[in-house]
Amino acid sequence: MKKQPVYYTAGDIASREISELPDEFVLSRHLIYSSPATLAFNSPGAEGFGVKRAGLAIAGSVMLLVAPGCCGRNTSLVSEMKAYEGRFFYLNMDETDIVTGRHLKKIPDAVREIAETTTPKPSLVMICITCTDALLGTDMERICRKAEAECGIHVRPCYMYALTREGRKPPMVHVRESLYTMLAPRKKDPRAVNLLGFFAPLMDDSELYELLSSIGIRTVREISRCRDFDDFLTMAEANFNLVLNPEARRAAEVFEKDLQIPSIELTRFYEPDRIHRQYEALGAALGVTFDDAPYFEEAKAAVHAFRDRFGALTFSVGECTNGDAFELALALVRFGFQVAEVFATVTDENMVYIRYLADLSPDTRIYANTEPTMIFYEPDVACDVTIGKDAGFYHPECPCLPWNSDVQPYGFRGLTALLKGLTSVLEAAGNKDMPHSDFASGESPADCPVQSATAEADTCQSLADCPVQSATAEADTCQSPADCPLSGATAAPTAQEGGVK
């Protein structure tokens, strides 16, 4: 093994196609290094909203963990959290169970015991299984149907399979699908919308709520804000869904297929211009116009105030954050800062950000968090502040903003919250009087800290390359409704007829 951590520059990565990535960035071509920096990111059952917390997103639900003791032990950490006290039950597997599969016959009895002895009676029992049953090929869907029929209670599976993380249906994708398949068709409310994607709510002051209200939306539902199981079932009344996280795409397909509720996918951005353009695209899809000018100006003013106060900061950015590490790094560079390093997984979706980053900061280093040589990482570049728990681990000497709270930042207010958080950690570190840098006033796109997204769009070679493309133009290129990222546009007439002005 090499004794030096392997990195490639943004320029190196941008010059390749996704199929030509170095082996260090392809998980199937090397061992996985689960460092303390990335344990929560790598394990679908560990810290944060992993499979187990996600499976208990519905109020009143409980979970039966079917696993050998070694797989289930980290659940004790989650069960100590106040919101999860008394909500975990265990069915331990021994060697005979693994060899013969006899534990599967015990599951319906275990569900019945939970239903009969738990007060109040749970609304849902999630059966969580691990890689052991993945290797055995267990049909847990069938087991859950049997338990549900015998016990008269909702029973659904979720899979804590690290083995399938890179597959067609990773654990966090499947758990969303498993939950939403319980919804049954209902009469549609033209003034209702669901937000899909997260297991915790958006920030209370996110402008998205206010903008939706301004066009006549009266009810915005999120699974984390549902008071009980019956409240969760009302999500079937929505006129359309807004998908805020790519992991919820499969769940959105369930809504469309089973409930005839279309979806519009939005992306979390930290650049004000991109956020603005996306709201324009959403308005075009719905046939309305959003007045986001006050929030837009507020965000740009916050960027300028932060930059003027702290000067030419150098950042290291990790992927254990609420956001795409490369989009965030690109935003920081465009604000006039430097990004020395990004610790993140390279995917097809974030290659567009890497290519733009390469134009502005080609020497930014990109490390693969899970690559085994990261065990030898020692800081050899100067940085003033880190964003993400993983970046903070690699730079313990620097102020760190973890930026991974359960409550989700989104939109213009997400950006202003990020800057407030950075201000707090820099103040706590005693960096109130950092030297100011002389920022250019926008003579070129590379120098302009909050450059116009329109100018950027003009340089795109194709719609596929443009991260701020017009939703209307993109929709025009779709070959079929199934291909269209703004399939929810078909719901616009219904929304307007229901009072969306």
pLDDT, tens digit, 9 for 90 and up, residues 62-108 = 999 998 877 766 676 677 778 888 899 999 998 898 888 899 999 99
Are 338 and 373 in the same domain?
yes
Q: Where are the beta strands (DSSP E) in 215-364?
A: 219-221, 240-243, 263-265, 314-318, 338-343
Average pLDDT estimate for 14-39: 79
Residue 100 and residue 55 share a domain: yes
The 10s digit of each residue's pLDDT in 262-284 is: 999 999 999 999 999 999 999 99
The boundaries of the domain holding residue 211 are 192-266+476-497
Six token digits for residue 42 = 């790598």
| Per-residue model confidence as pLDDT tens digits over 292-316 | 999 999 999 999 999 999 999 999 9
Asked whether residue 278 is assigned to any structural domain, the reply reads no
Assign 40 a pLDDT band (cuts: 50, 70, 90): low
**What pLDDT is stored for residue 488 in this prediction?**
38
Peptide bond before 122: cis, by omega within 30 degrees of 0?
no
What pLDDT is attached to residue 497? 31
pLDDT at 83: 83
Which stretches within 361-491 are classed as H helix?
A: 389-394, 411-428, 453-458, 471-476
Determine contact, residues 407/203, Cβ cutoff 8 Å: yes
What tens digit of pLDDT does each residue of 8-22 get? 999 999 999 988 898
More confident residue, 116 or 479: 116
Task: Report residue 14 as tokens.
Answer: 């941008």
* 339 and 432 housed in the same domain: yes
Stretch 145-163: mean pLDDT = 88
Based on the domain organization, do 487 and 377 belong to the same domain? Answer: no
Distances (CA, A) of 79 to 51, 53, 151, 437: 13, 9, 25, 48
Looking at the domain assignment, is residue 279 inside a domain? no
Residues 69 and 89 grouped into a single domain: yes
Contacts of 158 (CB under 8 A, 6+ apart): 51, 52, 54, 55, 63, 126, 127, 128, 129, 171, 174, 175, 178
CATH number of the domain where residue 247 is located: 3.40.50.1980
31 falls within a domain: no
Flag whether pLDDT at 1 surpasses 70: no
SS3 362: coil
Q: How far apart are CA 403 and CA 422, in angstroms?
A: 9
Domain count, the chain: 3
Distance CA 55, CA 78 (A): 12
226 and 309 part of one domain: no
